[in-house]
Amino acid sequence: MFIIFLQITLSGLLNAVDGLWSCCGEEHIIIFTTNHKERLDPALLRPGRMDKQIHLSYCNFSAFKQLVINYLCITEHELFEKIEVLLGQVQVTPAETAEELTKDCDATECLQDLIKFLQAKKMIKEEIKNEENIKEEPEPKKMIKEEVKNEENVKESELGRENT
């Protein structure tokens, strides 16, 4: 299998997009996605090229309920409360949520799978946070060396005062 990486310039991308509009008389929808809108060149975002910008956020409980209606055809379930709490604790996309809701025909099993998925994401989030906290804590050896240096500096300054 060969992987070919093509580099395209901003000018090339803009020409391609503008070419799509000029060659076709009908209305078209072109969808661009990015995780970093702030890095995009303003020429790409100008009106006429990008007429509509939609922020797709993480899945909140309201979006979850709509997905459940669409995929499982239910409006209430005893597991909703637990899912609402977990959705407030982790960031999960609507696509990830929908994937869990379509794995099984049984609504309860789907919701239980979603809870397991959300709990796993929560655990990963907590592990990452713990790792970051460990990295930020000073190493004990360095602290001891700094304390010894501070004590030596205090003694030197006391000796200096006694000699004067």
What's the pLDDT tens digit per position in 42-86? 888 888 777 788 888 899 999 999 999 999 999 999 999 999 999
- Each residue's pLDDT tens digit, 7-16: 788 888 888 8
Domain boundaries, the chain: 1-55, 61-136
Question: Does residue 97 carry a pLDDT above 80?
Answer: yes
CB atoms within 10 A of CB 154: 10
Contact 116, 93 (CB under 8 A): no
Q: Would you state the structure tokens that stand for residue 20, as one six-digit string?
A: 């799509």
